[in-house]
Amino acid sequence: MLLSTPGLVLHTTPYSESSVVAKVFTRQLGLRSYIIKGVRGPRGRVKQNLLQPLSSLDMVVYNNEKTDLNYTKELSPRCPDQLSDPVGNALRFFMTEVLYKALREAEPMPALFDYVEGITFHLWLHKVADHSSPFTSYLPISFLLTVARHLGIEPLDNYCPREPYFCLEEGRFLSAPNETTLSPHLSEMLHEYLSTSQPLSFSATQPLKSRRDLIDALITYFHLHLSGFTHFHSHEILHTILK
């Protein structure tokens, strides 16, 4: 059975002399694995730049529900080219690693797909080269919280003066600190991100170190609440680029 769907490339692995296996987050089917022929080698009919992390594609795929590994029939780009600025690339690799390690092959999540693809189009259109822009400042934390919400692990925003410490292990604010609670400052900052109606304006006023620390804390949060979310590295590159 053939099916047409947009897809976002998350990861590729060599397969035979000229093919790759690609993990693709599709709008119609969710996360799926595909054998893509004719990629490797000088005579490859599929250009490598089509399969860069978070490349947005229009795909025609074979959909056999009895196997976890299907073939693609047609691929075409939904964006004319890829990003070239360091900040945009760092953001794209960060989002790709989050999705690759957080998603499982299960039901489709079209709302999450539309959100992610909207960001990739924004990065492509605006070539985000200013690491101090409100969008750049807000995106990593916003992205982690949005993915968490779609996966059903969003932090509970029960913050109040009597419960000011966010616990990474329990996923909610507590009245007293423990080994996995954030500092009062980071806890309040997380509450602001969860509750503010103007996140772009808010994020631009936060010190860079505080945003880095909150990103690191949320990576730990994902590690605690999602099996397989380990050995995460792209946030370190992001910290270097956005310094």
238 HSE (CA, 13 A, CB side): 29
Q: Which among 136, 134, 149 has a CA at the least distance from the CA of 94?
A: 136
Q: Are 88 and 48 in contact (CB under 8 A)?
A: no
128 HSE (CA, 13 A, CB side): 23
Query: Token digits for 23?
Result: 């993990």
The residue among 219 and 42 whose pLDDT is bigger is 219
Mean pLDDT of the residues in the chain = 87
Q: Are 182 and 190 in contact (CB under 8 A)?
A: yes
Q: Are 127 and 85 in contact (CB under 8 A)?
A: yes
Is 116 a residue whose pLDDT tops 70?
yes
Over residues 65-74, the pLDDT tens digits come to 888 899 999 9
How far apart are the C-alpha atoms of 131 and 87, rounded to whole Å?
A: 6
pLDDT for the residue numbered 133 = 66
Phi-psi bin for 127: left (phi > 0), alpha (psi -120 to 50), beta? Answer: left
Longest CA–CA separation in the chain, Å: 65
pLDDT for the residue numbered 7 = 97
User: Which regions of the chain does DSSP assign to beta strands (E)?
Assistant: 2-15, 19-26, 30-36, 56-62, 69-77, 165-167, 172-174
Calculate mean pLDDT across residues 88-92: 87
Task: Provide the residue count of the chain.
Answer: 243
Over residues 106-115, the pLDDT tens digits come to 789 999 999 9
Calculate mean pLDDT across residues 37-56: 80
How far apart are the C-alpha atoms of 213 and 189, rounded to whole Å?
A: 11
* pTM exceeds 0.75, yes or no: yes
pLDDT for the residue numbered 32 = 95
Residue type, 206: Q
Name all domains of the chain by residue range, CATH numbers in brackets. Answer: 2-77 (2.40.50.140), 88-241 (1.20.1440)
Over residues 2-23, the pLDDT tens digits come to 999 999 999 999 998 889 999 9
Task: Report the number of secondary-structure helices (H) and strands (E) in the chain.
Answer: 7, 7
Q: Which among 114, 165, 118 has a CA at the least distance from the CA of 139?
A: 118
Residue 72 backbone dihedrals phi, psi, to 5 degrees: -100, 150
